[in-house]
Amino acid sequence: MFGPGGIQVVQRIAGAIECPDRSDRRLPLRSEHFPVQARGREIVTQEGVVIAIAADAALSEEMARRLNKSDWSDQEDQWAL
């Protein structure tokens, strides 16, 4: 789906690869990390913390869009309860 470079992004987000810019390397993304944004090849939180590096800028934009959409859907599901 994302090609070989996309695997590294997903693993980094999942915490499988250590990311030196994060103090909580192994912790999953939480709602306070969102919305995330693409900055070149990097996907960053609103505080500017790099959470992943994609193979190219287009892939990082697509990943950020999907992550934000997924987080929004999760929030909507909670409101529905």
- Angle 50-19-63 from CA coordinates, rounded to 5°: 50
Which pLDDT value is given to residue 10? 56
Say what the pLDDT of residue 45 is.
Answer: 92
Q: Residue 66 belongs to what domain range?
A: 4-80
Mean pLDDT, the chain, whole residue set: 78
Say how many domains are in the chain: 1
Determine the Cα angle at 12 with ends 40 and 14, to 5°: 130
Looking at residue 79, its pLDDT comes to 83
CA atoms within 13 A on the CB side of 41: 8
Full-model pTM? 0.63
Q: Quick one: pLDDT at residue 65?
A: 95
Percent of the chain scoring above 70 in pLDDT: 65
Lowest mean pLDDT among 10-24, 25-39, 57-71: 10-24
